[in-house]
Chain A
């Protein structure tokens, strides 16, 4: 992936030297570095799929990278011979190689110029096939097909849905330029949804993955927009006198919780996603911000300094008294509830270091997941197994992921730019 980036950078340099104006967006590709692997990884062999060598190798390369990056699998050398899903499997051979699972498959060109991908997953220990799938795709969709294959394998072997087909949103800051970008969960296919000379913060996905709400400072003050990814069109969701910020979607996608200062202070309100019908959610004399709905829509978690220091509270979404959630330390902010509603990721300050923490909401037990010191903006993967967040390495903003047990760690960075404000998108329907 680094190589890909360098080549792109050189191309753009050449274009610049030739006096061509290179298109701004596509350059900033994220590159992944694995900084911590899981402890109990299942050994799996992904054979080269039969068919056109270049096409099938491109596909299986993506599948292997997906499985390895998940931290749940270690890759077993599959040998060089392509193996179709129709080929007989010699279980003893694969046991000897140390594989607990095996994937075989094929990619064949269809008469209309597309590709048919078929694969089968085997449990080597039980000597039994676990199932497979078939996809028809254009050559441009082959990478997405590979992610679908990985999703199937991951879910069959771990019991948890895979997130390889999901996307992430984030903000790239280079000199004098801010870009809201969308990329595949593995950092590939970065596209720019919005470019601005002024800051963009707090992107958040609509529950159906079709829109992003975010805060843009392009009008010299924070204004909340809702942006359609398919059309590139957007509308103002909150632009009242004062500041408008911290958008959060209701689980039904119809409303946004936002923070407005129009009536004094930073206070939470609900607006319809089209910007109509603003109503106040709560009253406090201090700061209330960073609202987030619980997945069942019953609660709104938020950050408030009403007790003297920033702490996390929750109120019933229908209105009612606030209940304090965090008590340890004097700076706990940015609550994010896991998709199953059972735990909360947030940022805690410990001895001057800002770190990703995870709280079991039933027991209130808390675990610090990172050893960095400038963590911000945690966001759960839709399967709840991984958290993406922003941090700093060598003075530069990067994204990082950590598994909820703290063992699997990766960083995603862009050369010569700061990356921040990650938001993990929902499952693709």
Chain B
């Protein structure tokens, strides 16, 4: 976990500098490699946005083209480890919070419906805390963040099958004015 966070922080620094190492022009195989690293999600949003969307502006929070409009992190059953696929998302939100120090974020942890309601409040808290810790490691100020749990009480999908449960094992990130 700690290792992953350092990796995430490192890729944030790379993205912030906007300096991918220049692609050495060699064999075809190597070119494929560099292409993959060029579109690694953390850097992609800055480089590829068609009209230079400002990733630190408030408008970006609601712009569907911006990664910042994505607010959810999903978890495996009974787990509160953040999967690698969400690192770029959290890096983008960390950048935004650092650039907008007056903005606050409420992180709401959620669980599926199985098991004790109160234990699920605690499990949801673990999930919300996991996102909060990642954002803190990425340089966000503690005062900007509050992690809370809604337990199993606010399912996004009211169903009772694995598909519904997977949607409900989730953190949502809300900004000032959204809660």
Contact = CB atoms under 8 A, between A and B. Distances in A.
A333 interface: yes
B108 A220 contact: yes
A242 B125 contact: yes
Contacts of B123: 287
A287 B122 contact: yes
**Secondary structure of the B contact surface, majority rule:** mixed
Nearest to A199: B153
Interface string B149-167: 1110110000010000000
Given A221-B148, A261-B147, A266 B106 contact: no
B126 interface: yes
A88 interface: no
A303 B124 CA distance: 15
B72 to A, nearest CB: 16
Nearest to B148: A221
A310 B115 CA distance: 10
A88 to B, nearest CB: 57
B106 A220 contact: yes
Interface in A189-217: 199, 201-202, 215, 217
Interface string B165-179: 000000000000001
- By DSSP majority rule, is chain A's interface helix, strand, loop, or mixed? strand
Interface string B119-147: 10111111001000000000000000011
A310 B153 contact: no
B116 interface: yes
Given A217-B153, A310-B119, A354-B114, A264 B108 contact: no
A334 B116 contact: yes
B148 A243 contact: yes
B31 to A, nearest CB: 46
Contacts of A264: 129
A290 interface: yes
Contacts of A376: 116-117
A241 B108 CA distance: 13
A290 B6 CA distance: 34
A347 B120 CA distance: 14
A228 to B, nearest CB: 23
A82 interface: no
**Which size class do A's interface residues fall under?**
35 or more
A377 B121 CA distance: 14
Interface residues of B, number: 25
B124 to A, nearest CB: 8
A333 B179 CA distance: 31
Contacts of B129: 261, 264-265
Contacts of A220: 106, 108, 148, 179
Contacts of B116: 290, 303, 310, 333-334, 347, 376-377
B118 interface: yes
A384 interface: no
Nearest to B126: A287
Given A201-B151, A261-B129, A266-B126, A395 B118 contact: no
Contacts of B125: 242-243, 261, 265-266, 287
A184 B12 CA distance: 60
Contact of B119 (A241, A242, A287): A287
Interface in A219-252: 220-222, 241-243, 245-246
B157 to A, nearest CB: 15
A337 to B, nearest CB: 16
A259 B122 contact: yes
A300 to B, nearest CB: 14
B118 A241 contact: no
Given A242-B148, A289-B121, A303-B118, 7 more contacts: A217-B154, A221-B108, A221-B149, A245-B118, A266-B121, A266-B122, A395-B160
12 contacts: A199-B150, A220-B108, A220-B148, A221-B149, A221-B150, A222-B150, A245-B151, A259-B121, A265-B125, A287-B119, A289-B121, A376-B117
Q: Which 3 A-B pairs have the closest CB atoms?
A: A266-B122, A199-B153, A221-B148
Interface of A: 199, 201-202, 215, 217, 220-222, 241-243, 245-246, 259, 261, 264-266, 287-290, 303, 310, 331, 333-334, 347, 349, 354, 376-377, 395, 420-421
Interface of B: 106, 108, 114-119, 121-126, 129, 146-151, 153-154, 160, 179
